[in-house]
Chains A and B, each alone.
Chain A
Amino acid sequence: MPDATGLELIAQDIREADPDAVLDTVFFRGRATLVVEPRAIRDVLETLRGKGYGFMASLHGVDYWPEEPRLGVIYELLDMDSVDRISVKVRVHTDRPHVDSVTDRWPTADHQEREVFDMFGVVFDGHPDLRRILMPEDYEGFPQRRDFPIGGEPVIFTFNEDHVPGYPD
């Protein structure tokens, strides 16, 4: 992990190229996070790749309900040579949940962006095949959002599969 100072230096480098790109830096329990503007995500990730963070270890979706902007997408980057990790976070509102896809540069994001789309409804612009991945194709709603009730859906059996809500035929 870059230490708190290292994180500020990285943030400074990005700010020099794009003054408004970095919204915040968080350093918590040894984990460095850059909070960036959604429009700048591709540039920031590209800059970090140039600094060695070339391996995208993971991509998470988060719902910060009731805080706004509600939805978050977090990219976990890893530098395998210096064994160093950094996280990049973007936050978007639910009424316009658009983030640029990074699939063309990080092919690993393919399935993971689809999962975030499936569970949180974040639309990744430019993703080649943005469909639901874990939930049924015709499912309605985004189940991992915090306001989606747990157990709030009926169990499908053969006898009711044609008339349970959320599963139009």
Chain B
Amino acid sequence: MSTPADIAAQPLRDRPDEELLTINMGPHHPATHGVLRLLVTLEGEVVRSCKPVIGYVHTGIEKTAEDKAYWKAIPVVERMDYLAYYFNAMTFCNAVERILDLQVPRRAQYLRVIHLELNRIMSHLVWLGTSALDLGAISMFWYCFREREKVLDLFEQSSGQRMHTRYIQVGGVIEDVPPGWADKVRAFCREMPRRVDQYAALLDRNEIVLRRLRNVAVVDEETLLGLGVTGPLLRAAGNPWDLRKAQPYSCYDEFDFRVPVGTVGDNYDRFKVRLAEFYESVKIVEQALEGLPEGPFITDDRKVALPPRHELSTSMEALIHHFKLVTEGYRVPPGEVYAPIESPRGELGVFLRSDGSAKPARVHMRDPSFVNLQVLPHMVQDGYVADLIASLAMLDPILGGIDR
């Protein structure tokens, strides 16, 4: 069998039936995971160059956020990476809390971690389902979305929304979890590792999947670091960089979990790393539920967080605070911070500049998909066009986050 490299080694004049063909893949293409347009130059079945063209779902979220009070900007920034909404809200609130120099109660931090890790499981489930679909395994899609529904149900119970929950607030979370919720999460945590075992049984021993993924789209660690790639892509190449371990934020340093890494840096390692991350996330959720401290779920700093509803009818001061917060919002001291966290796709950071007013002067999201997308041409160069689809799936880009 001649590999793409063998074909490339032959001079072009020996292959008179082949010539370069430039085609558009997307923007409306089910395998591009959104509205991504790829300008692909093909030589027969072999990809000679690939250029991502983005901006089709640019909605100016950063600009919109500049026009909102800090707490009203949370729902806006949540909608960027629409599979990791808790992460978007978390990094934004982290940055505001850092400028305000605000302490978050421990119960709130634990609740945040529980939701973040459930969100990571949910995001990886969508990745696994759609990636398997791209490899031709349609049943995986239904299995993954079955479990995803369970996570979304948990989100709905704790916050009232399935997606874009606006649960994480500056200073804590919007409300405590309802009674009985923890038991449902525990039940989910008992079930989930078994489900991941089943996914692995379906895919990890599947001849087709293995041959489609192994030694395909190998990118070395040096190139990845130069391109600023983080997250499972970098870990698949053997670099154990995970902000949850390296620069623990919130209360991640209190949990015992491992960082899965790959060895080769091919699509199979990317697949395995994410699969292993399911188990680690479940472990974190279980530990956080076990050690969930009692106490307030949001800061008692009345200048930032809304007073409890019942205080409004008895306390004039609470009423004034409520009025000020809802109308103007709170003012944030001038300054600039950069707050990164580990999203399901890598380093999700927000650069926040405050000019002292009640609205952010600049919100810039360093979205991991936007930066990671730059590695795609390196992944698919001189590979088959069918592997381009698989590589794109293993890259796991979210176009809402790329275009913002």
* A2 adjacent to chain B (CB < 8 Å): no
Residues A60 and B225 in contact, CB atoms below 8 Å apart: no
Cβ-neighbour of A108 out of B58, B62, B226, B351 (below 8 A): B226
Inside 8 A of A85's CB, which chain B residues have their CB? 338
Inside 8 A of B62's CB, which chain A residues have their CB? 144
Cβ-neighbour of B338 out of A54, A55, A58, A150 (below 8 A): A58
Cβ-neighbour of A150 out of B66, B229, B404 (below 8 A): B66
Cβ-neighbour of A107 out of B67, B227, B239, B246 (below 8 A): B227
Residues 27-56 (chain A) with a chain B CB within 8 angstroms = 28-31, 33, 54-56
- Chain B's interface: helix, strand, loop or mixed, by majority? mixed
Residues 58-76 (chain A) with a chain B CB within 8 angstroms = 58, 60-63, 74, 76
CB distance from A135 to the nearest CB of B (A): 7
Q: What total of chain B residues lie within 8 Å of the partner, measured CB to CB? A: 41
Q: A26 vs B335: C-alpha distance in the bound complex, in angstroms?
A: 10
Take A110-B374, A134-B55 as given contacts and tell me if A31 and B246 are in contact as well, using a CB distance cutoff of 8 Å. Answer: no
Inside 8 A of B239's CB, which chain A residues have their CB? 80
* B60 adjacent to chain A (CB < 8 Å): yes
* B139 adjacent to chain A (CB < 8 Å): no
* B265 adjacent to chain A (CB < 8 Å): no
Q: A108 vs B222: C-alpha distance in the bound complex, in angstroms?
A: 12
Take A63-B362, A111-B373, A135-B55 as given contacts and tell me if A54 and B101 are in contact as well, using a CB distance cutoff of 8 Å. Answer: no
Residues B371 and A112 in contact, CB atoms below 8 Å apart: yes
17 contacts between A and B (CB under 8 A): A26-B336, A28-B335, A31-B338, A57-B347, A58-B228, A58-B351, A74-B351, A76-B349, A76-B351, A76-B366, A85-B338, A107-B374, A108-B374, A111-B374, A115-B370, A144-B62, A148-B63
Residues on B facing A (Cβ under 8 Å): 54-55, 58, 60, 62-64, 66-67, 98-99, 101, 225-230, 239, 241, 246-247, 335-338, 340, 347, 349, 351, 353, 361-362, 364, 366, 370-371, 373-374, 403-404
A-B contacts besides A60-B366, A133-B54, A134-B58, 8 pairs, CB < 8 Å: A31-B337, A57-B366, A60-B364, A74-B336, A76-B349, A87-B338, A108-B374, A144-B63
